[in-house]
Amino acid sequence: MDLNFQYAHHQSNESDTTHNISKENALNAFDQFDWDGEVEKANQLNNCSPTLSILVNGSSEMIWVSGVGSHKCSAFISECCFPGEVKRLFGLYKSQGTISLYSDCLNKAKAREAIELFLEKDYKGLEKLYRE
C-alpha cells in the first residue's frame, strides 16, 4: 500500500510518496497532516489543494481526500474506487468491475472515517458514508 501527499506548493503532477505503509501509519499520516495550514497555503498560492491518497495494487483500489475551504480546512472532497459488483443494462445485469464513489461534502471526521473504512475494506460502510 502506498501513501501519497500532495502539498499546496506542489504542481498538479507532483506528490511525495511513501511505499509499503501500514494501516496504522496511513491513519497517523492523516491525523498529523496540517490540513488547516496547507489549505491556507493553497488559497494563497492558488496551486493544489492538499491531498492524501492511498493506493493498493496500483490504481484498482484507491482513496483520496483533499482539504478545501477558506482560511481553514472547512470541507473535504474525496473519491475512492474498489473492486465490486457493478450493475449494467439498467440494473438488469451484474458483473465484477470497479465501483467508484465521490463526495464533495465531508468534514474532517467523515474524511478520516472514509480512510478507516477503506483500510478495513468495509466497502458497504464506504458506500453508505459517501451517499449520506
Where exactly are the structural domains of the chain? 2-131
What is the end-to-end Cα distance of the chain in Å, rounded? 27
Q: Which of 127, 75, 65, 131 is nearest to 106 (CA)?
A: 75
Compute the average pLDDT of residues 96-124. 93
pLDDT, mean of residues 118-124:
94
Segment 57-65 shows an average pLDDT of 85
pLDDT level of residue 73 (50, 70, 90 thresholds): low
Q: With bands split at pLDDT 50, 70 and 90, how would you rate the model's confidence at 97? A: confident
Q: What is the pTM of this model?
A: 0.87
Q: What is the mean pLDDT of residues 107-116?
A: 95
**Distances in Å between the alpha carbon of 84 and those of 81, 92, 104, 122?**
9, 16, 22, 12
pLDDT, tens digit (0-9, with 9 covering 90-100), for 26-59: 999 999 999 988 898 888 888 788 999 999 977 7
Give me the amino acid identity at 69: G
Show Cβ contacts of residue 124 under 8 Å, excluding neighbours closer than 6 positions: none
Residue 76 pLDDT: 93
